[in-house]
Chains A and B, each alone.
Chain A
Amino acid sequence: MKKLFPWLRENPSLYYLILFLLMILSGIILFFAVQSGRSNLVYVCLIILIMANAAAVFKKI
């Protein structure tokens, strides 16, 4: 992880790409999770979405 974070810091585009994919994929998975009544998965996806947005706010990791 120590190696990964400085690398992401030096590649802001990759950092944003990861955040973007996390947000979009979690949003899609949420639809299927809530339809199938898998509440644990719903909470996991919502937490990922909140964390991804928080990571966008605190860009300097």
Chain B
Amino acid sequence: MFILAISPILVILLLMVGFRWGASRAGGAGYLTAILVAWIWFGINPETLSYAHAKAVFLILDVLLIIWTAFLLFRVVDEAGGIKILSKSLPYLTADKGMQALIIGWIFASFLQGVGGFGVPVAVIAPILVGLGFSPLSAVVIPSLGHSWAVTFGSLGASFNAMMAATGLDWQVLASPAAIFLGITGICVGFAAAYAAGGWKTIRRLALPIFIIGVVMSTAQYLTVTLGFWSIGGLIGGTTGLLIGIPLAWKYKGNGKSLGKLDWKPLLISLAGYGVLVVLTLFIQLVPQLNRFLSQVQFGFDFPATRTLAGYMVPAGPGRQITIFRHAGMILLVSSAAAYLIFKSAGWYEAGSLSRILGSTGKRVISSSVGITSIVMMAVIMQHAGMTDTLARGFSSSLGWFYPALSPWIGALGAVMTGSNANSNLVFSLLQLRTAELLGLPAAIILAAQTTGGALGSVVAPTKIIVGASTAGLEGQEGDILRKLLPAICVLLLIISIITMIGIILI
């Protein structure tokens, strides 16, 4: 039964990694496999199947609202030329190659992950680093490693929201351990990016700024998410990194050729859209009356208990409730509109910009939306059929107390096969939660390991590597990039395994 229960996941893995299918096609195949196995071997009946689908719809909408609007805001800024201005401004700060790699490939990559995600950090930064004289391989590897720690709380918290949606646990339970694990990863990837830029010599020379910036960014992210602002955790972490990294870059100017003087005005205007987002998010969270007023409209169903023909029962309870006007997606939508008006009044748009923004956003997100829909439906069907429970029992009985060490690797595997941390959290969070419950382990620690593993694994997802290769002019050399990234990611996952075991022992 264990093999049957895991078969939908294996199908997705085989099709995405082995046959290089996209998430939308492979997700559909995983869904069909789950339906077949659940119906024939796990005795799922039409009623249970119906409730599982309906429950999945609310999880899907909750996750997609953030993904759609986060990309919309990115496109609003990008169409105005804001991302280009940011990209061109940063190399002015220092001529030191190691420091350039850190400021652009680590800190700016983390900032871009905070505001955009979806492979944007690597796609934007790889060509900049090539232009600054880095080898194309290093130009892909540095931002790939550099942005990884910001994935979970980046993209306006889409991956973290996916974990909350899949497990039904609140941010109060999940945010703190996840931020600690990701913070430690953040410091480690700073050193990894420096190593990729210039080996041990660069690490020795820049160890102090790496440590300072890493600690400041991680602490900023930790404080932001544990205060409840999880949707802007990555954004605040990256922004704080820029604020501390810029003065440090002046200190480590290096002996290279100076690029001239930086024009601050357009740089600040280009950041206006994200400024609006931060102000709105803080305003809504910090003014209780406004928070209560916006929380009045909620969408969601109450679901009855379900039982399969094999006797597996899911208790009654509310499904995912979507608080539409306080939802991070709505805040992003308003921020996008405000940013559009700011850029429009500054005369930064050419004719037809609105249709280009909406058209490219729609084209970019719709195929991945189908993939996410299929994968979430598959995961919820597996849960209602008792397949997730079978997997959890299999893992807990065979691995026992060594299971925590495996948790980040499961998260990473999910991200590699589905192409994203969010998808990995949707597929595996419930399995990790159930296994933790069976073994009597603290679920928050196991889920922190899951999402950190997912964030690291997303770096070596075939889709991201292809994006990086194409923007750095390395088409057809994806294998070389993978060979360079894989050892670093394995070392980082090993560190997270050790931290997870320590966390379990301490708690």
Q: Identify the A interface with B (CB < 8 A).
A: 12-13, 16-17, 19-20, 23-24, 26-28, 30-31, 33-34, 39, 42-43, 45-46, 49-50, 53-57, 59
Find the residue from A16, A26, A42 having the highest chain B CB count within 10 A. A16
A20-B367 Cα distance, complex, nearest whole Å: 9
Name B's interface SS: helix
A12-B374 Cα distance, complex, nearest whole Å: 17
The residue on B at minimum CB distance from A43 is B46
Query: Given A13-B367, A50-B32, A59-B24, are A23 and B377 neighbors across the interface (CB < 8 Å)?
Result: yes
Q: A31 to B28, Cβ gap below 8 A?
A: no
25 contacts between A and B (CB under 8 A): A13-B363, A16-B24, A16-B366, A19-B370, A20-B370, A24-B57, A24-B60, A26-B53, A27-B53, A27-B54, A28-B57, A30-B51, A31-B50, A31-B51, A33-B50, A39-B46, A42-B50, A45-B53, A50-B35, A53-B31, A53-B32, A56-B28, A56-B374, A57-B25, A57-B32
If A16-B366, A42-B47 are given as contacts, then 13 extra A-B residue pairs at C-beta distance below 8 Å, sorted by A number, are A13-B366, A16-B370, A23-B374, A24-B373, A26-B53, A31-B301, A34-B51, A43-B46, A46-B46, A46-B53, A53-B27, A54-B28, A57-B32
Q: A27 to B366, Cβ gap below 8 A?
A: no
The residue on A at minimum CB distance from B57 is A27
A20-B362 Cα distance, complex, nearest whole Å: 12
List B contacts of A59 (CB < 8 A). 24-25
List B contacts of A57 (CB < 8 A). 25, 28-29, 32
> How many Å from the CB of B332 to the closest CB on chain A?
19
B369 on the A face (CB < 8 A): yes
A20-B46 Cα distance, complex, nearest whole Å: 21
Name A's interface SS: helix
Query: Given A23-B373, A31-B301, are A54 and B32 neighbors across the interface (CB < 8 Å)?
Result: yes
List B contacts of A53 (CB < 8 A). 27-28, 31-32, 374, 377
List B contacts of A50 (CB < 8 A). 32, 35
The residue on A at minimum CB distance from B374 is A53
> How many Å from the CB of A53 to the closest CB on chain B?
4
List A contacts of B56 (CB < 8 A). 27
Q: Identify the B interface with A (CB < 8 A).
A: 24-25, 27-29, 31-32, 35, 46-47, 49-51, 53-54, 56-57, 60-61, 301, 362-363, 366-367, 369-371, 373-374, 377
List B contacts of A12 (CB < 8 A). 367
List A contacts of B377 (CB < 8 A). 23, 27, 49, 53
Q: Which 3 A/B pairs are nearest by Cβ-Cβ distance? A: A56-B28, A31-B54, A27-B57
A45-B56 Cα distance, complex, nearest whole Å: 14
A57-B24 Cα distance, complex, nearest whole Å: 7
> How many Å from the CB of B278 to the closest CB on chain A?
31
Q: Which one, B25, B31, B49, B54, contacts A28 given CB within 8 A?
A: B54
Q: A45 to B50, Cβ gap below 8 A?
A: yes
List B contacts of A43 (CB < 8 A). 46
> How many Å from the CB of B465 to the closest CB on chain A?
22
List B contacts of A39 (CB < 8 A). 46
A39-B35 Cα distance, complex, nearest whole Å: 18
> How many Å from the CB of A22 to the closest CB on chain B?
10
Q: B57 to A16, Cβ gap below 8 A?
A: no
List B contacts of A34 (CB < 8 A). 46-47, 50-51, 54
List B contacts of A30 (CB < 8 A). 50-51, 53-54
The residue on B at minimum CB distance from A17 is B366
List B contacts of A45 (CB < 8 A). 50, 53
A20-B54 Cα distance, complex, nearest whole Å: 14
List A contacts of B53 (CB < 8 A). 26-27, 30, 45-46, 49
> How many Å from the CB of B342 to the closest CB on chain A?
28
List A contacts of B29 (CB < 8 A). 57
A27-B363 Cα distance, complex, nearest whole Å: 23
Q: B49 to A46, Cβ gap below 8 A?
A: yes
Q: A24 to B50, Cβ gap below 8 A?
A: no
> How many Å from the CB of A50 to the closest CB on chain B?
6
> How many Å from the CB of B369 to the closest CB on chain A?
5
A20-B373 Cα distance, complex, nearest whole Å: 7
> How many Å from the CB of A51 to the closest CB on chain B?
10
List B contacts of A19 (CB < 8 A). 370
The residue on B at minimum CB distance from A23 is B373
A49-B29 Cα distance, complex, nearest whole Å: 12
